[in-house]
Amino acid sequence: MKILVVQDHLRSGGTERQTVLLTRAFAALGHATALLTFRPGGDIAGTLDPAVTHRPLQPFDSGLDWFAPGLARAAARLAPDILLCMGRMANCYAGGLQRKLPASVVLSTMRTGKPLPWLFRRSLQLTRHVVANSQEAKQTLVTRHGLSSDRISVIYNSLVFPPPSPGAPPATEAARIATRAAQGAGAATVVLLCVAMFRPEKNQRELIEIAAGLPADLDWQLWLAGDGPTRASCARLAAGKKLAARVKFLGWQRDPGPLYAAADVAVHASRSESLSNFIIEAQAAGLPAVVYAAQGIGECMVPGETGFVIGPGDRAAFLAALVRLTGEDSAARRTRHDRAAAHARLTFDPQRQVAAYLRLFQKLSASPAP
């Protein structure tokens, strides 16, 4: 198959990492795979597989995520069997691409909990099929946007940073200790971890506010990995609460795997999700999670067993769940660790998800256009 993926920019977000993973996997399985991005460059552009044909549409980076000069012409020249749109901006163009390339199967994707622009909503009605990355996202498409259920397939995100497989050498205890020591965390320190871009909807401020209420005698740190426009205001909040020594801003991580291995609990207060890459990766590493409920969050874990899903804004319940986890004995922690890792490694296995995409592509290619 000739597969074309369209993405606005290769920034460091979860959708962009899924784009890189999928294009690499499609190419490795022998499919002619191309990627069109609106903007050149990006934090993860260097991780693209050389076997994937990559063409940015803007001759220089305008900084405009919506500007896609010559998109339809470039797609027509590639003449793909399958055209997969990833991200909100690319999905705004999906309907137009389906009209201009009637012989191609164009797929929209639903990978966000944010409100959808009008062009995105219009495209959902025009493309051949829609891939949602959670059951809750599919339900939103049906109930809020009026799509027929049979036009939607659910394919979960893949683990971009899977931990070592069973039987492989685990991260050494020395490496874990060194990662913690670099932040001043000792053996008894409870390390809370959040890996996410600093955007208003990711709500890292809430995590700082909650952590400030932890028991005074608890040795804890909150590690916030990522970058973005709200990082500076979060740093000011932590400093204002006299928590600069406890709240660590670790910046963007090309591979957060060592942080997962070194932390104790994953925490997430995001107000907008479809399926959280951070939570599925943290669970695969065995970290129990305490998270606010958002679209798809309950599908990232086994609520009550591998962590706790808390009603949005219920700081008291979030704090109580953290205190409960930090007080568990080693046997209870090991049970949660093993259950989380087993569930996430099976449910979000990259080979399983890539195979689901390819089965869907083959099915749609064999079906006549309506």
> What DSSP line would sit under 274-311, residue for residue?
SS-HHHHHHHHTT--EEEE--TTGGGGS-BTTTEEEE-
Q: Are residues 122 and 263 in the same domain?
A: no
Q: What is the rounded end-to-end Cα distance, in angstroms, of the chain? A: 21
Q: Are residues 226 and 333 in the same domain?
A: yes
Whole-prediction pTM value?
0.92
Cβ–Cβ < 8 Å for 118, 91: no
Q: How many domains does the chain have?
A: 2
Q: How far apart are CA 75 and CA 106, in angstroms?
A: 11
Which residues fall within 8 angstroms of residue 292, CB to CB, at 6 or more apart?
A: 203, 206, 268, 269, 270, 271, 309, 310, 311, 312, 313, 314, 318
Mean pLDDT, all residues of the chain: 95
Q: How far apart are CA 90 and CA 364, in angstroms?
A: 20
Q: Are residues 86 and 201 in the same domain?
A: no
Q: Are residues 277 and 133 in the same domain?
A: no
192: containing domain: 173-347
Q: Is residue 163 part of a domain?
A: no
Q: Are residues 8 and 88 in the same domain?
A: yes
Q: Are residues 320 and 353 in the same domain?
A: no
Q: Is residue 167 part of a domain?
A: no
Q: Are residues 120 and 189 in the same domain?
A: no
Q: Are residues 300 and 318 in the same domain?
A: yes
- pLDDT tens digits, residue range 265-309? 999 999 999 999 999 999 999 999 999 999 999 999 999 999 999
pLDDT score of 293: 97
Q: Are residues 125 and 17 in the same domain?
A: yes
Per-residue pLDDT of the chain (370 residues; tens, 9 = 90+): 999 999 999 998 899 999 999 999 999 999 999 999 999 999 999 999 999 999 999 999 999 999 999 999 999 999 999 999 999 999 999 999 999 999 999 999 999 999 999 999 999 999 999 999 999 999 999 999 999 999 999 999 999 987 765 555 556 788 999 999 999 999 999 999 999 999 999 999 999 999 999 999 999 999 999 999 999 999 999 999 999 999 999 999 999 999 999 999 999 999 999 999 999 999 999 999 999 999 999 999 999 999 999 999 999 999 999 999 999 999 999 999 999 999 999 999 999 999 999 999 999 999 877 7
Q: Are residues 63 and 129 in the same domain?
A: yes
